Structures are given as C-alpha cells and as structure tokens.
Amino acid sequence: MLIITRNIIYLMLTSSCIQCSFGAFCLNKAQINIIKKERRLKKNELLHTDNQPFDHLYAIQCGALKTYSIDPMGNELIHGIYLKNEIYGYDAIYKKHHLFSAEALSETVVCEISYSSFLELLQKKPELLHLILYRMSQQLTFGAYLKFITAPQRLAAFILDISTRLLTEQSQSRFLLPMTYQDIGNYLGLATETISRILSQFKKNRIITIERKYIHILQTQLLTHIADGFK
Amino acid sequence: MLIITRNIIYLMLTSSCIQCSFGAFCLNKAQINIIKKERRLKKNELLHTDNQPFDHLYAIQCGALKTYSIDPMGNELIHGIYLKNEIYGYDAIYKKHHLFSAEALSETVVCEISYSSFLELLQKKPELLHLILYRMSQQLTFGAYLKFITAPQRLAAFILDISTRLLTEQSQSRFLLPMTYQDIGNYLGLATETISRILSQFKKNRIITIERKYIHILQTQLLTHIADGFK
DNA sequence: CGGCGGCTTGAAAGGCATCAACATAAGTGG
DNA sequence: CCACTTATGTTGATGCCTTTCAAGCCGCCG
C-alpha cells in the first residue's frame, strides 16, 4: 500500500510544474511564494464569473477552460478556449474586470498568480518580458479561423488548432477533445447537428477517426486543405 | 506667406505626437532617437507583406491599416483593422514573422519602433509595462463580435466597435468609416451586398445616417440591442 | 437496468451568398 | 472643366448552406 508523504506530493507537484507556463515565475525556490495557490476545479465548475474584478492570471496545469457569456436569447457564446500549459487572464487586464465567465471543461488544475506580483517579478526579471509578450502574441492569433466562412473550414481549422496546442511528441496526431459538440458549436458559431454532420463527413472521407472523445488525424494535409478554403 | 521653419515642423510633429501610442517611448527628448522613422503610406500601399520577418511595431498616427491574407479561391480575408492611435504589430511577436500582409486603408502615417529597442526601453522603464500589457489586452478583445451569428448583429457590433475606437469628445457619435463595404464584408465574413442591405435597413429605421463615408449613430441603444442579439 | 446527457440522422425553413443589372461616386486625362 | 473610365454602392431574383425542429440512438453513471 502506498503511503503518500509530503515528499511524494512535492515530487508530484514539481513534476507537474516542469511544463508550467509560470515555470519561470515559481520553479526558482526564491520565487515560489509568489504563486498564491493552486486551484482544482471539477467539470463545469466556475473559475470566476462574468464581471468579477480582475486580480489574477492563471496557468493551466491540466484540463481546459472556456470563457463564455449568455446572450439575451439564452444562448451560450463561447469566447475562448484555454488548454493545458497555457496562461489565461490577459484579456481582462484591459477593462480591469472579467468580461466573461470562465468554466472548467473537465477536471482542471490551475495555478494562480496575482497580477501585481506578476508585474513586480516581470520588472525584476526583464528576461521574462519577451516570453510573456510572446505568449500574449500567441493568444492574439487564436481563433483567427473563426472568420472563415464555411462550416467545414472552421471545423477543420479548429481541429488543427486544438491539435497543435495539445500534441506532444508522444501523442502523435491523437488527442483528447476536451469538450462536447455543444461547446464546439457555441465556440464556432455552429449548431451541434452541423458539427456532428461534418465530423461524420470527415470520418467517411478517412480524414480523421473518433473513438470516445479521442480524435486521430489521419490526413493532416487534407484538413489544412479544407481549412485553407479549397473545395 | 507662411515660411515653414524647423520650429514649425517641430511643433507640427510634437502636436501630432501628443496622442501617439508610442508617446511614452519618444516624447522625452532623451528617447527620441529610438523611433526609427515615420512612414507615410498612400491608400492601398503595403506596410509589409505576408511572411516578412517581424522587426518593428508601428504606432498609427493617422489613417488605418488592415491585415489580410488571400485564400486559395482568391478571396481576401481581413484579419484585423487597426485605427489611429493604436499600436500594430504585436501579433507577429509569436511567430517572429508577419502572418498577414498589412495595407493602408487610406492615407496613413505610422511611427516605427524596432522591437529590440522597444524591449530595451520597457526594461529601463518598467512603469511602461502595465501600459503595454493593457494595450495588448485590449487587442485580445478586438473582434470578439465576429463570433456573433447573424449579419445584423455582427454589423451593429462592428459599427459600435469602430465608433468607440475612433470617437473623441468633439466628434460626438459621428465618424469617418475608413474603409469600403468590400473591406467590411471581408472583415465580417459577409458579402458587400449584405452590408449594403443591412445598412439600408439601419438607415430606414433611423438608427444611423450615412453621408459620404461619415456614419452618424442616432440610437446607440438600439444598435447595442441588435448587437446583443435581440430581435 | 434505467435514466439522462450527448450524439446522430432526416425533413423543412430561413438567412445569406451569388449572379446580374444598374446607379452613383471617384479618379484620370485631355 | 468636362468626358471618359473605373471603383463602389444599390437593388432584385434565385439557389445553397446551415439552422431549426423532431425523433431515435448510444454510452455513461448511478
């Protein structure tokens, strides 16, 4: 029987911190007190609500988040998807409060850092500056494909986007889609039925396979082809 | 007859620099050498092409830019609109080269600063840090309305977006739309005919008036209502 | 095993694109 | 300054893609 000691927990934590986006901010022992705390969210649990004041940035250790608002007709509008190893919260710096609610798409662990500590550390360690600008710049490019016109185009681009953001060397073109078709539809501005139909097409054409929630991309080139707008 | 002396030129420049987004980086005489140069672009002139390496950020003094790519079917896809007093270029930090071409929508003057100078100065003057994060954060929120489903919703949100980004105290809900319907359509993913039809609707319902390219918003509330998704 | 959320599939309706023709504005050169 | 040319905006008719509504299926979890 395994007895979990503080040491083991520590090891588990540090190993999960290796890839953390806040690594530069906390792996160093001298700085570890800056991280306010780790938060564990169950599926569908809220990280924060709409309109809540902005204080913290979050590094997503595992799991995924969505930000969303509800329109007057009661439809959920998903504004952003944030995955493992990404930093969430930048978008709220501008208005000083969160524009959207943020909810866990699955069991999710985030590391919280206060924005003021973040700024402070950034000033002490200017070599982090480019890293942060780099990561914000990356988020500026997220969701560019939402401007694509046709549904297959958007969905193909979405799959490629998520895959490049999730895939590692081990996982080779096979990854867990961390959300329901409903969520995808709300994100892409498409009905769930449309998502289902188009994915069926993709499967029929041997472009991807889906079992459970695992997507396997068989023909990346064909997907990019579709995303690029070829017919 | 007016003789233009260096002094007058200097006054003209500084006055045009008052509102400049790079103000903090160059108004101070000690720093003025950091700005590499001012570039004047004619309508439809390219600031840079697709795939060009990223070296500079640009503060838009006057005029406007669009970034775009051409899809395989030859359609122009506008990814971003950048207006007077905004900073353009952040999105290319991530990939170190520009993902899109950038073109002037009208006569445009930009101030160019090299990214390395920018980083350097940011390190020397950490009080600028929040300002820059603030501005990047703002850009993260741009174009959120592109996810809106219906055409009138998108167009209403677009008008409101541009107006808040262009309006000053003097100009009071009346502003120059710095682009063609073609451009708007390419940006919103709608046909120019659709833009025309919906704007005609807006005019008929006394929500806006348009003369030349000047838009006057008569009923802001109704516009936000439409943008929010009421019918 | 039974219930529920999520996915699938079909038929009908609707919104927007497309095509076409025209109107108007802007830009050019004589 | 005007005639010509080109770019941009307007309006109508048709067709297609996606939504919507409806029903059934599957897999998961208690």
Q: In the A/B pair of chains, how many CB contacts fall below 8 A?
A: 109
Calculate the angstrom distance between C1' of C27 and CA of B167: 29
CA-CA distance, B99 to B77, in Å (whole number)? 12
State residue A142's pLDDT score. Answer: 86
pLDDT at A29 over 80: no
Strand-by-strand arrangement of the A64-70 sheet? A46-48, A101-104, A64-70, A76-83
State residue B141's pLDDT score. Answer: 87
pTM for this one?
Answer: 0.87
State residue A27's pLDDT score. Answer: 53
Q: Which two tokens stand for residue A178?
A: 């961390």
Give the alpha-carbon dihedral of A8, A9, A13, A15, to 10 degrees.
20
Nearest CA distance, A163 vs chain B (angstrom): 18
Question: Rounded to an integer, what is the distance from CA A95 to the centroid of its chain?
Answer: 21
State residue B169's pLDDT score. Answer: 67
pLDDT at A230 over 70: yes
Q: Which two tokens stand for residue A136?
A: 């914000």
Which among B69, B61, B107 is positioned nearest to B88, based on CA atoms?
B61
Nearest CA distance, B149 vs chain A (angstrom): 6
State residue B170's pLDDT score. Answer: 65
**Rg of chain A (C-alpha set):** 19
Question: Rounded to an integer, what is the distance from CA B159 to the centroid of its chain?
Answer: 13
Which among B182, B189, B218 is positioned nearest to B203, based on CA atoms?
B218
B130, A119: Cβ pair inside 8 Å? yes
Calculate the angstrom distance between C1' of D8 and CA of B162: 21
A229, B133: Cβ pair inside 8 Å? no
Q: Is A85 left (phi over 0), alpha (psi -120 to 50) or beta?
A: left
Average pLDDT of the residues in A120-140:
86
CA-CA distance, A126 to B174, in Å (whole number)? 43
Interface of B with A (CB under 8 A): 71-73, 75, 77-79, 90-95, 99, 119, 122-123, 126, 129-130, 132-134, 136-141, 144, 146-149, 187, 189, 228-231
Task: Give A32's DSSP letter.
Answer: G
In which element (H, E) is residue B35 found?
strand B35-41
Q: Where are the alpha helices (DSSP H) in chain B?
A: 6-17, 23-26, 115-124, 127-141, 151-166, 181-188, 192-204, 220-228
Calculate the angstrom distance between C1' of D12 and CA of B178: 29
State residue B125's pLDDT score. Answer: 79
Nearest nucleotide by C1' position to the B188 CA atom:
C16
Is the Cα torsion angle A223, A227, A230, A231 positive or negative in sign?
Answer: positive
Cα dist from B87 to A4, B56, B111, B132, whole Å: 52, 11, 9, 10
Q: Which residues of chain B have pLDDT under 50?
A: 1-15
